[in-house]
């Protein structure tokens, strides 16, 4: 049996050296000025890299400026905005983007939550499984796009090869109107389902166990427990994950660029891809700026509505 450790000691230890007290701060360096000095670098960086470009784009959006043609920017006021909002080309891309966002986010949410639910019920190997599921999310979208492009190739791709060995016909994954958009949704889902899974898993593990224990005592069914305990508690967190994914999906560019280049025709051109073409094929910088500003506005408005819903949910 070991001795108990005394809480106090008579030995005061080495006598503290007689160091002089710290010099008082200069009167000039007040708390407020010190705070400004500390946040100034970050603030300046933010102003230079985010706020100024946004305001600059806002200014350009009211002009006919072209980055390559140079020359003075003439004010056209709301002409760019009117042209974008009334353009049939833009409406077509908006519809494509909407289908893509809804399709991808719904699929990812259902799959991500299901996988998270199944993992949360395991006691062994949960960490390993989670890590394995997260691998697609770690890859660059360009790399993901390139290898899926090879896998989905109608002639040489492994997917059609598997379908062939099962006695099914070849599918033109990337060159037919319907399958091309579905392929984009599937590839995006493959890469980003782990994100939803991760957030959902965090929510699921945070559900207090005593609620389930109480439900077990009441002999509540599995479905009843899921419906009345699990889902309501995880739902707000899941909605935040959905919000992040919806914003990401709304500005999808890289996968489209690599997998379909917007084709066949323009049937998989998203709004971001179209902005890229307006900005860099014709170098219509004013129009592209207005297009970008409108996209930001859409995201801000939808996010606000969404956050209000989340707050309401929290209050309820």
Partner 1 sequence: MQLATAALLLMATTVAACGDGQDNDAKASAPKAPATIPELTKDPLTLSFIWFEWPPAQALEAFANEEYKKVRPNATIKVNTVPNANWHDAMFTQFAAHKTDFDIAILDSQHIGEAVTNGNILDLTDFVKNNIDVAAYNPYLLAAYGQFPQAETGRRDENASLYGLPLLGDTWTMIYRKDLIGDKPPQTWDEMISAAEKCQADNPGVSGLSFHQANGSDAAAVTYNTVNGIYGGNLWDAKTRKIDGVMNDAAGQEAMDVLVNKMKPLTAKGSGNWFIDEVNASVAQGKACIAFNWIAASGGLLDPKESTLGKTREQILDKLGFATLPTQKTNLVPLGGMGMHVSAYSSAANQAEALNFMKWFEQPDIQKKWAAAGGVPSRTDALESPEFLNAGPFNKVYADSVPRMRDMWNVPEYARLVDIENTNVNAALNGAKKPKEALDDIAKEQQSVLDSGSRKGGGGL
Q: Is 266 in the site for partner 1 (CB under 8 A)?
A: yes
Residue 244 CB, shortest distance to partner 1, in Å, is 29
Quick one: 155 exposed, middle or buried, by C-beta within 10 A (0-12, 13-18, 19+)? exposed
Length of the chain equals: 316
Residue 70 CB, shortest distance to partner 1, in Å, is 3
Query: Read out DSSP for 155-186?
Result: TT-HHHHHHHHTTPPP--TTTSHHHHHHHHHH
Residue partners of 94: CB distance under 8 A and separation at least 6: 271
Q: Is 288 in the site for partner 1 (CB under 8 A)?
A: yes
Q: Is 14 in the site for partner 1 (CB under 8 A)?
A: no
Positions 122 through 181 that interact with partner 1 (CB under 8 A): 153-156, 160, 170, 172-177
- Among 117, 190, 253, 283, the residue binding partner 1 under the rule CB under 8 A is 283
Count of residues touching partner 1 (by CB under 8 A): 59
- Among 10, 223, 281, 316, the residue binding partner 1 under the rule CB under 8 A is 281
Range 48-83 burial, b when 16+ CB lie within 10 A, else e: eeeeeeeeebeebbbbbbbeeeeeeeeebeeebbee
Nearer to partner 1, 76 or 242 (CB): 76
Q: Is 272 in the site for partner 1 (CB under 8 A)?
A: no
Nearest by Cα to 77 from 65, 63, 89, 90: 63
Provide the 10 A C-beta neighbour count for residue 26.
Answer: 8
Phi, psi of 252 (to 5 degrees): -60, 130
Nearer to partner 1, 130 or 268 (CB): 268
Long-range contacts from 260-264, C-beta under 8 angstroms, 24+ separation: 260/174, 260/180, 260/183, 260/184, 263/174, 263/175, 263/180, 264/175, 264/176, 264/177, 264/180
Q: Is 82 in the site for partner 1 (CB under 8 A)?
A: yes
Nearer to partner 1, 56 or 309 (CB): 56
Positions 21 through 50 that interact with partner 1 (CB under 8 A): 47
Residue 173 CB, shortest distance to partner 1, in Å, is 8
Nearer to partner 1, 112 or 157 (CB): 157
Residue 264 CB, shortest distance to partner 1, in Å, is 4
Residue 281 CB, shortest distance to partner 1, in Å, is 4
Residue 82 CB, shortest distance to partner 1, in Å, is 7
Nearest by Cα to 199 from 112, 106, 311, 308: 112
Q: Is 260 in the site for partner 1 (CB under 8 A)?
A: yes
Q: Is 79 in the site for partner 1 (CB under 8 A)?
A: yes
Q: Report cis status (omega within 30 of 0) of the bond before 20.
A: no
Helical pair 52-60 and 285-315, crossing angle rounded to 10 deg: 120
Question: What are the residue ranges of helices labelled H in 166-284?
Answer: 177-205, 209-217, 222-225, 231-250, 254-259, 271-280
Q: Is 197 in the site for partner 1 (CB under 8 A)?
A: no
Residue 69 CB, shortest distance to partner 1, in Å, is 6
Q: Is 284 in the site for partner 1 (CB under 8 A)?
A: yes
Nearer to partner 1, 65 or 133 (CB): 65
* Interface ranges with partner 1 (CB under 8 A): 47, 51-52, 55-56, 59, 64-74, 76-77, 79-80, 82-84, 87, 89-90, 153-156, 160, 170, 172-177, 257, 260-267, 277-284, 286-288
């Amino acid at each position: 049996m070991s001795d108990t450790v005394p809480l106090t000691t008579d030995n005061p230890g080495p006598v503290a050296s007689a160091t002089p007290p710290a010099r008082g701060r200069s009167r000039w360096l007040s708390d407020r000025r010190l705070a400004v000095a500390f946040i100034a670098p970050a603030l300046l960086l933010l102003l230079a890299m985010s706020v100024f470009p946004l305001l600059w784009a806002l200014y350009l959006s009211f002009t006919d400026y072209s980055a390559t043609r140079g020359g003075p920017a003439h004010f056209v006021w709301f002409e760019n905005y009117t042209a974008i909002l009334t353009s049939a080309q833009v409406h077509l891309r908006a519809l494509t983007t909407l289908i893509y966002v809804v399709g991808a986010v719904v699929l990812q949410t259902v799959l991500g939550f299901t996988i998270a639910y199944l993992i949360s019920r395991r006691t062994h190997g949960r960490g390993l499984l989670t890590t394995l599921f997260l691998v697609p999310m770690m890859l660059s979208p360009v790399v993901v796009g390139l290898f899926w492009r090879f896998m989905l190739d109608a002639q040489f791709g492994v997917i059609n090869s598997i379908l062939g060995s099962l006695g099914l016909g070849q599918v033109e994954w990337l060159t037919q109107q319907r399958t091309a958009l579905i392929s984009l949704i599937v590839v995006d889902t493959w890469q980003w389902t782990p994100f939803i899974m991760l957030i959902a898993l965090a929510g699921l593990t945070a559900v207090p166990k005593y609620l389930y224990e109480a439900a077990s005592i009441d002999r509540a069914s599995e479905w009843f427990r899921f419906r009345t305990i699990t889902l309501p508690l995880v739902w707000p967190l899941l909605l935040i994950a959905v919000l992040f994914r919806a914003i990401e999906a709304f500005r999808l560019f890289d996968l489209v660029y690599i997998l379909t280049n917007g084709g066949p025709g323009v049937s998989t051109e998203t709004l971001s891809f179209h902005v890229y073409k307006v900005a860099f094929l014709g170098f219509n910088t004013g129009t592209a700026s207005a297009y970008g500003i409108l996209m930001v506005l859409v995201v801000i408005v939808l996010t606000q509505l969404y956050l209000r819903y989340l707050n309401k949910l929290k209050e309820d």
